[in-house]
Structure 1
């Protein structure tokens, strides 16, 4: 794959169609009806002021009080489309009890529990802690060892069941997964257990029992499923909310992940290891000094520690059972005022980089040929260039047992190939073990410098041996307050989207009222961001069936169109239409009515073909990651307003709640 990334040479940063950053959009003044409430952009304020303006004040925790929507009501001048969007937005705040699909449980992070800036985030904090998974209920189904049934203790059976239910997954073909599982399970079995070899075990009885249980759940009536769901909601209700400075806020990941076998992404070296059950004694709670300490839900146990740190926003944390040097946190939900203010500050910082980027680029360009004895300055210059132009992650040092993933600072000599005269081929595993493979043209001094950094080193040695993430970020903070490598990534993603969706030529062939085509334009712009950020996904298992279904619909519609054209010719001659495929006589219609049906059939075919092209085009690209983490939502909201696209066509309910603060942006907003 050979692609030329954003700003990689002195040429225009994007395709020639794109306008320069900061230019106005001709469609702005043509907007007839806003699709989201068009108010004055939110002024920066502290979280308490912002919250009290938008949410209901509470004096005590209440598990029954509904949270008010975070957005104001649309004005009476707004159209039906605006009301639909506003309604979706309210529901997202009031009823969206689930977080985004991938965030049911806390993700691991290396970020330490301490404060990063020492500033107070709240004055009072009340919450009910976390909810634990239910204890294991033994099923008594025996596995076979050398053909004979074997008795297992509940603990041994639980781990065996974790393994048995994965029978149909690809992990069963991975030696590392099997090895890690066997090592952990063998410790639970004990040295003198009759089971001495995994290959002699037959987990089929447990697998078949599991399949039967799944089928029973499928056969449940709607009423039974509803009752179970309501019971679960009642159990979780009190954990869903926190009271921050008297304001009721949604809690994000309040569930402790159940024990299981670690899967990981790619060829993770720890795949198959047992994720042990997390206990209260593992969890540190953070709460207000005068607030009641959450009751420990497991009898006879107690929390690891109780903190009253108002400079952090987490409610609880514990060490990751697979990577103990990492942490899992419980935070407020993405829709909370604290999160919203934090998000806005993040994007404002990336937006501020626009004012510094020219001088930063001039500085690192000057240092490409730095002849100082200290090689660090030159390596910082080249690394900053790559992070700026390719949106690479900085990369962090890791233990030997962690996945062999790298970022810019941890690139090895073998990850980079110099191809004369000035092409560089990158090939490495990035975050989540996703492969980054890209061949790009770079400036000649960068090409020469990388070649010199490689000289005399082995394949597994670091390309930037005089550099690490802390040194790089310390240098970046000298160039702009708060600047880190991640800010470059957010900046690159957001400015690319802004330039792409603001390109007038992209809309020349789009009909004024065709929302579907405008959404495709947005998706294509989003795809460019995903490519820059290397946001990939595996092709969906249902992709082929979806394409087949669309193909069949297109063929059916074309056949209908063919018949309509014949009917039109006959109608013009005063003849009745031919019988349909079912043998029944069709209704006599006037030529004008048939022509309307032909136009409708053509539109249907065009829509199906466009849907199929879009699905094929985006099948390996993950559009959601950049929307959640890297794209300033104000770009999207402003674009929706300018082009009269309902915001829920782009943002799902979770994103509508997460980006409540962005909904009032002016349609002329540019990143």
Structure 2
């Protein structure tokens, strides 16, 4: 629907206005504010920025007891040093978030202070509206949700650049770079999944293909056949492709790539990169997303 497409477009346009250094500066200023309410709001914003977690009190009523920044319980947070905090909670999709992270010393002080309340929650009086209003003081319209869109998109942009794919590279190398960028976004947004039950068998089948190709190459090297050089080159290319596929399968085992591709990564980044390296965008986006992102991908929805 055109209206839905327009909303999607606006979401990504807003993320382009995100100014990380300005926002971090605003948050850090708020961390040591004399106003305790502002200190709490700034601490929540700091955690959203640092941990790339959701704001917390926007979840669906039928969701499990999952947690975001505003709904963190005291039991989810443990101070383990002057600058270190251990976080342990269930995020969206009941995915466990468990990390010990270095934080700003003022954040440790604030967390210690906020633990002295009568609630089991750290920020019982903070709502997402207050966080959004605080962020909007720097960039109008910016909300807590934009953080994840911005960081996922930037991670994809950076990874694609790092891969250094050229137009002359084989298609499988381009697809690998696109998937790897998608994986990096899924990692920073904690889009975890349980591997399918038959994952090990599938991995073994993929590994077997690699071993079979290696054996073919070994035998061919020892034989005296016509066009040996040409045949070896073809087999080695096939081997490179299968090895990349195997690597990708291993690396994506615990991550769901679909969520970030559908909701957080600006499709314009993939579209301009695909044009630059000469990759068909349909190799990155399935049909449903080609329709959803027709405005960015130039994929006209089928009549």
Tell whether 2:30 aligns with 1:371.
Answer: no
Counterpart CA distance in 1 for 2:157 and 2:252 is 20
Q: Is the 8 A contact 2:167 2:276 kept in 1?
A: no
Counterpart CA distance in 2 for 1:564 and 1:415 is 59
Which of residues 262, 271, 278 is equivalent to 1:628? Answer: 262
Q: Name the structure 1 match of 2:250.
A: 616
Tell whether 2:116 aligns with 1:465.
Answer: no
Tell whether 2:231 aligns with 1:597.
Answer: yes
Counterpart CA distance in 2 for 1:340 and 1:531 is 26
Q: Is the 8 A contact 2:281 2:297 kept in 1?
A: no
Tell whether 2:89 aligns with 1:433.
Answer: no
Tell whether 2:195 aligns with 1:517.
Answer: no
Q: Name the structure 2 match of 1:476.
A: 135
Q: Name the structure 1 match of 2:6.
A: 341
TM-score normalized by the length of structure 1:
0.42
After superposition, what is the alpha-carbon deviation per residue over 1:620-661, rounded to whole angstroms, capped at 9, x for unaligned? 111110010011100010110111111111111111111110
Q: Name the structure 2 match of 1:450.
A: 111
Q: Name the structure 2 match of 1:493.
A: 152
Q: Is the 8 A contact 1:518 1:645 kept in 2?
A: yes
Counterpart CA distance in 2 for 1:476 and 1:451 is 24
After superposition, what is the alpha-carbon deviation per residue over 1:101-135, rounded to whole angstroms, capped at 9, x for unaligned? xxxxxxxxxxxxxxxxxxxxxxxxxxxxxxxxxxx
Tell me how far 1:346 sits from its aligned partner: 1.0
Tell me how far 1:474 sits from its aligned partner: 3.0
Tell me how far 1:552 sits from its aligned partner: 2.0
CA 1:427/1:597 → structure 2, altered by over 3 Å: closer, same or farther? Answer: same
After superposition, what is the alpha-carbon deviation per residue over 1:426-485, rounded to whole angstroms, capped at 9, x for unaligned? 11111122212222221222222222222x357x71112332223222333343322221
Q: Name the structure 2 match of 1:502.
A: 161
Q: Name the structure 2 match of 1:244.
A: none
Say which SS state the counterpart of residue 439 (structure 1) adopts.
strand
CA 1:607/1:511 → structure 2, altered by over 3 Å: closer, same or farther? Answer: farther
Q: Name the structure 2 match of 1:330.
A: none
After superposition, what is the alpha-carbon deviation per residue over 1:126-168, rounded to whole angstroms, capped at 9, x for unaligned? xxxxxxxxxxxxxxxxxxxxxxxxxxxxxxxxxxxxxxxxxxx
Which of residues 51, 55, 59 is equivalent to 1:390? Answer: 51
Q: Which structure has the highest helix share of the two?
A: 2
Q: Name the structure 2 match of 1:533.
A: 189
Q: Is the 8 A contact 1:413 1:457 kept in 2?
A: no
Counterpart CA distance in 2 for 1:653 and 1:637 is 15
Residues 129-528 of structure 1 correspond to what in structure 2 (within 5 A)? Answer: 336-354=1-19, 357-372=20-35, 375-396=36-57, 403-454=64-115, 456-457=116-117, 461-503=120-162, 506-507=163-164, 512-528=168-184
Q: Name the structure 1 match of 2:295.
A: 661
Q: Is the 8 A contact 1:397 1:410 kept in 2?
A: no
CA 1:555/1:497 → structure 2, altered by over 3 Å: closer, same or farther? Answer: closer
Gaps of 5+ in 2: none
Q: Is the 8 A contact 1:393 1:407 kept in 2?
A: yes
Tell me how far 1:402 sits from its aligned partner: 5.8
CA 1:423/1:658 → structure 2, altered by over 3 Å: closer, same or farther? Answer: same
CA 1:341/1:397 → structure 2, altered by over 3 Å: closer, same or farther? Answer: closer
After superposition, what is the alpha-carbon deviation per residue over 1:205-264, rounded to whole angstroms, capped at 9, x for unaligned? xxxxxxxxxxxxxxxxxxxxxxxxxxxxxxxxxxxxxxxxxxxxxxxxxxxxxxxxxxxx
Counterpart CA distance in 1 for 2:56 and 2:147 is 14
Say which SS state the counterpart of residue 18 (structure 2) adopts.
helix
Q: Is the 8 A contact 2:26 2:138 kept in 1?
A: no
The count of corresponding residues between Structure 1 and Structure 2 is 299
CA 1:657/1:443 → structure 2, altered by over 3 Å: closer, same or farther? Answer: same
Tell me how far 1:341 sits from its aligned partner: 1.2
Q: Is the 8 A contact 1:388 1:492 kept in 2?
A: no
Q: Is the 8 A contact 1:364 1:381 kept in 2?
A: yes
Which of residues 563, 580, 595 is equivalent to 2:219? Answer: 563
CA 1:556/1:511 → structure 2, altered by over 3 Å: closer, same or farther? Answer: farther
CA 1:398/1:619 → structure 2, altered by over 3 Å: closer, same or farther? Answer: closer
TM-score normalized by the length of structure 2:
0.90
Say which SS state the counterpart of residue 544 (structure 1) adopts.
helix
CA 1:360/1:401 → structure 2, altered by over 3 Å: closer, same or farther? Answer: closer
Q: Is the 8 A contact 2:84 2:102 kept in 1?
A: yes
Tell me how far 1:400 sits from its aligned partner: 9.8
Find the structure with the greater CA-based Rg.
1
Counterpart CA distance in 2 for 1:400 and 1:413 is 22
Gaps of 5+ in 1: 1-335, 569-588, 666-671
CA 1:558/1:496 → structure 2, altered by over 3 Å: closer, same or farther? Answer: closer
